[in-house]
Structure 1
Amino acid sequence: MANQPQDDRTSKQQAIDDWLPITSSRNAKWWYSAFHNVTAMVGAGVLSLPYAMAELGWGPGIAILILSWVITLYTLWQMVEMHEMVPGKRFDRYHELGQYAFGEKLGLWIVVPQQLIVEVGVNIVYMVTGGKSLKKFHDTVCPSCTPIRSTYFIIIFASVHFVLSHLPNFNSISGVSLAAAVMSLSYSTIAWAASLRKGVKPDVDYSYKATTNTGVVFDFFSGLGEVAFAYAGHNVVLEIQATIPSTPDNPSKGPMWKGVVVAYIIVALCYFPVAIVGYYIFGNSVDDNILITLEKPTWLIAMANVFVVIHVIGSYQIFAMPVFDMLETFLVKKLHFRPSFFLRFVTRTTYVAFTMVVGICVPFFGSLLGFFGGFAFAPTTYFLPCIMWLAIHKPKRFSLSWIINWICIFLGVLLMILSPIGGLRSIIVSATKFGFFS
């Protein structure tokens, strides 16, 4: 066939690639990209945006939300473009692009640790979130029942993943992902619509929560971290694009970008109303999860919590798939295990058990993520794509592309330095309330 990309893999390598979860199935449509991206991006983090607004204040809060939306859309566009910039080759994984930009060894060391912190961190947080939302549903529906510890709800939530994690590849989780994307739009809408229905609190206060200047500054940094956490989808974007078919005449970036634009419109429809309406109605008395602030109507809050659980199930799978891919690649290519169902079963079951146990032992992991999030979320989302773009495309000095990339890098590095400071302080302040195995 004319102008077909050259395939120089051995039959053994090809067999391994056909087995690995990222590269085994390449028949996704553009709308797969849309709902995979929505599921990856709109995490339960959206429910903490009104709280982040309370820490940032009206002006800075709205500015940071809009800036984050614009910058992350731009860096996502760069990643979609870079996926196939070498003719006949596809960078199916974030670290492969890193290796091309920074060199074989250095690329791995720069990308893989950050990607793993984000993906494993998000999976642990989602274990806790799923368990807590199940508990909230149980307590809302049956206030007179005997209270059950969060631990048991986390185990119930994990049991779903002991089954779902054995779906072989990205395309096989598309149904779960679609359900999750619909749920994220649903519970976001419930959050702001129920707030509006409540009406502005009579004694609403828009001043900062903290009474001291130091407290205000640290809360501000913490708010930055919460916004950064809300835009964490870039860690799986190349892996999602790898599932879309590609030919020299129809490269995968066309359908992928179409999906990303639809996803970002949905992200805006979820994030902005929740953040602005939630803060407008409750002011600085809003909780770090707006569904907790909204206690009534009971049935609606119960429903929203079920939606959160379904969404988090999908999100967990989206973030776990690249981790499975890394583990399986390592076992098969480096340790020369034979690709088999048994190997996959043991690897994935062990991983789900690991995230479950950490979630049970450290139920306050979400607070820790504000700290870790700054280190890993800000680089992989806000500025690592820009550095790769500069390294690979080498735009002319002081050209528009060069200037935009350096602005993004500057803001991203600032975010990476400041948000862990806020996260660390909130850990120290609330450390007295933390309890292992609580």
Structure 2
Amino acid sequence: MSSHSIAERGYLPNEKFDDDGRVKRTGTWKSASAHIITAVIGSGVLSLAWCFAQLGWIAGTITLALFSVITMFTSILLTDCYRSPDPVTGKRNYTYMDAVKANLGTLQYKLCGIAQYGVLTGITIGYTTTTAISMAAINKSNCFHKHGHQADCSVHNNSFMVIFAVIQIILSQVPNFHKLSPLSVIAAIMSFTYSLIGIGLSIAKIIDEGIGETSITGRPIDKDFSGMEKMWKTFSALGDVAFAYSFCFVLIEIQDTLKSSPPENKQMKIATAIGIAASTVFYMLCGVLGYAAFGNDAPGNFLTGFGFYDPFWLIDIANICIVIHLLGAYQVLAQPFFGFVENWSKKKWPQNKLITNEFSICGTDFNVFRLTWRTTYVIVTTIIAMIFPFFNDFVGLLGAGTFWPLSVYFPIELYMSQAKIRKYSFTWIWMQILSLACLIVSLVAAVGSTRGLITSVQSFEPFQSVS
């Protein structure tokens, strides 16, 4: 069959298959926007008030704005690399790694895989920790309301991590990314809800108690807070902001859910603009109002700073929304890794029936390898979360590790390769300068977060996380 007839076949209104022979994609810029918001507005939003406390009014605002603009720019570059060599009619790249391999070669393809799936694994570990903290907060809130403010309502987080893991094992059996749109829509709604609750509580606190002790440069240096400590916290805060905007590593996978007409890159650019713009508005409100409410003593998770007493039910709703949102966000980030391992295994052992055979149970596709592998992944990440349940520093390290390679370097290199940007041209030079500047930011953020993690580990016993 000619390529022309295949293309025509892919665009017939009642056709079941796309131009590449795969089941017809049905996603739109609306569903892609939901996926992006689900991936972007995650646990990172909870630490932004703390980031402002380290950076101050000026640096905090500028940092958020810069990361927003850079992420928007590089994401739009990446949308044109879903198809190669032409962004509209070229061959599809189903994953981020496929796009790198098609444009940059095998070596960078392997490096991208290490970075992408390492980061995805790390974020799912972080989401396990964050969800457990929110579930524990609900338990504590209800305990204080029932037994009084003086009651001992401390609780171990491990049991909540196990509950979260059991739910994820069930959700992980969804065969592929394309079937997650309803879950992403619900998760996106939840992320808006708890962000709005945090904003509302911040405003109420400001009205009731006034603006907290803030400054242009953030938390001041004093006898209890040295200049060196200020520097480390500032570096860690940069990592937290970088993490808050990280989603490029699943952009191609999200774009692969879009239907073919209008062209995927045009739809994805709209979705990217909407997703990042909406996220930035909420980030700025949460960061600014959270800092104004708590001042230089802003907690790492600003929702926990409002206490568990009054109004306890509103704090409960916010934390329930976090739990529901991260249930979906975990899958949005884990599914690309699941798919990569399963596709690689099928190519490696095509005759192995445990890997290739699909069974239908109650109308649902079932595969022995998929069940075993995905269950094992969830269990392992949960155990790691129990060993290292550190929120801020872990988030900062993930952000530092994610931002430059996956959100800046590869998108820029992919675009310049596909668009055939001439070496040492004006465009090439300023893009390299941008990449180098972002690399420096990522390195200092990684150093600050690593130092914080080392400090936390020295005073912590594994499996003993308590809220």
Above 0.5 in TM-score?
Answer: yes
User: Alpha-carbon deviations, 1:72-91, whole Å to 9, x = none?
Assistant: 01111011111114244011
* Aligned mates of 1:366, 1:166 — CA distance in 2: 30
Q: Which of these residues, 170, 182, 186, is aligned with residue 175 of structure 1?
A: 182
Whether 1:383 aligns to 2:376 is no
1:302 deviates by: 1.1
Is the CA contact (8 Å cut-off) linking 2:197 and 2:314 kept in structure 1? Answer: yes
Whether 1:125 aligns to 2:136 is no
1:217 deviates by: 1.7
Matched to 2:4, the amino acid is N
**When the two structures are aligned, how many residues end up with a matched partner?**
423
1:267 deviates by: 0.6
1:325 deviates by: 0.7
Which of the pair has more CA radius of gyration? 2
Partner of 1:142, secondary structure, is helix
Is the CA contact (8 Å cut-off) linking 1:6 and 1:88 kept in structure 2? Answer: no
Whether 1:310 aligns to 2:310 is no
Structure 1 residues 353 and 78: alpha-carbon distance in aligned structure 2, compared to 1, 3 A threshold:
same
Whether 1:232 aligns to 2:246 is yes
Partner of 1:66, secondary structure, is helix
Matched to 2:333, the amino acid is F
> Unaligned regions of 5+ residues in structure 2, if any?
9-16, 359-366
Matched to 1:272, the amino acid is M
Q: Which of these residues, 373, 377, 380, is aligned with residue 354 of structure 1?
A: 380
Matched to 1:114, the amino acid is A
Whether 1:198 aligns to 2:200 is no
Partner of 2:83, secondary structure, is coil
User: Alpha-carbon deviations, 1:175-210, whole Å to 9, x = none?
Assistant: 111111011111111112211111154661434255
Equivalent residue number for residue 214 of structure 1: 228
Equivalent residue number for residue 395 of structure 1: 421
Structure 1 residues 428 and 258: alpha-carbon distance in aligned structure 2, compared to 1, 3 A threshold:
same
* Aligned mates of 2:394, 2:23 — CA distance in 1: 35
Equivalent residue number for residue 291 of structure 2: 279
* Aligned mates of 2:392, 2:343 — CA distance in 1: 29
1:369 deviates by: 4.2
User: Alpha-carbon deviations, 1:305-360, whole Å to 9, x = none?
Assistant: 00100110010000010011111012101233342312211121111111122222
Matched to 2:270, the amino acid is K
1:239 deviates by: 0.4
1:25 deviates by: 5.8
Whether 1:40 aligns to 2:39 is yes
1:31 deviates by: 0.8
Equivalent residue number for residue 112 of structure 2: 111
Is the CA contact (8 Å cut-off) linking 1:101 and 1:107 kept in structure 2? Answer: no
Equivalent residue number for residue 304 of structure 2: 292
Is the CA contact (8 Å cut-off) linking 1:386 and 1:408 kept in structure 2? Answer: no
* Aligned mates of 2:3, 2:433 — CA distance in 1: 42
* Aligned mates of 1:364, 1:265 — CA distance in 2: 29
Matched to 2:342, the amino acid is E
User: Alpha-carbon deviations, 1:211-246, whole Å to 9, x = none?
Assistant: 322222221111110011101111111001111122
After TM superposition, list the pairs within 5 Å mapping 1:4-153 onto structure 2: 26-86=25-85, 87-104=89-106, 106-143=107-144, 144=147, 147-153=154-160
Matched to 2:122, the amino acid is G
Matched to 1:273, the amino acid is L
1:393 deviates by: 2.2
1:366 deviates by: 5.4
Equivalent residue number for residue 260 of structure 1: 272
Matched to 2:459, the amino acid is K
* Aligned mates of 2:292, 2:178 — CA distance in 1: 40
1:4 deviates by: 5.1
Equivalent residue number for residue 363 of structure 1: 389
* Aligned mates of 1:399, 1:190 — CA distance in 2: 49
* Aligned mates of 1:103, 1:397 — CA distance in 2: 18
TM-score, normalised by the number of residues in structure 1: 0.90
* Aligned mates of 1:193, 1:65 — CA distance in 2: 21
* Aligned mates of 2:431, 2:196 — CA distance in 1: 34
Structure 1 residues 24 and 226: alpha-carbon distance in aligned structure 2, compared to 1, 3 A threshold:
farther
User: Alpha-carbon deviations, 1:131-187, whole Å to 9, x = none?
Assistant: 111111111122238654211011111111111111112221111111110111111
Equivalent residue number for residue 408 of structure 1: 434
Whether 1:164 aligns to 2:175 is no
Matched to 1:262, the amino acid is I
Equivalent residue number for residue 270 of structure 1: 282
Is the CA contact (8 Å cut-off) linking 2:212 and 2:292 kept in structure 1? Answer: no
Runs of 4+ in 1 over 6 A off after TM superposition: none
Is the CA contact (8 Å cut-off) linking 1:361 and 1:437 kept in structure 2? Answer: yes
> Unaligned regions of 5+ residues in structure 1, if any?
8-13
Equivalent residue number for residue 301 of structure 1: 315
Is the CA contact (8 Å cut-off) linking 1:383 and 1:409 kept in structure 2? Answer: yes
* Aligned mates of 1:119, 1:224 — CA distance in 2: 19
The range that moved more, 172-181 or 392-401, is 392-401
Q: Which of these residues, 332, 336, 343, is aligned with residue 346 of structure 2?
A: 332
Matched to 1:127, the amino acid is T
* Aligned mates of 2:320, 2:212 — CA distance in 1: 31
* Aligned mates of 2:373, 2:48 — CA distance in 1: 35
The alignment-based identity, stated in percent, is 30
TM-score, normalised by the number of residues in structure 2: 0.85
The range that moved more, 173-182 or 376-385, is 376-385
Q: Which of these residues, 406, 431, 445, is aligned with residue 419 of structure 1?
A: 445
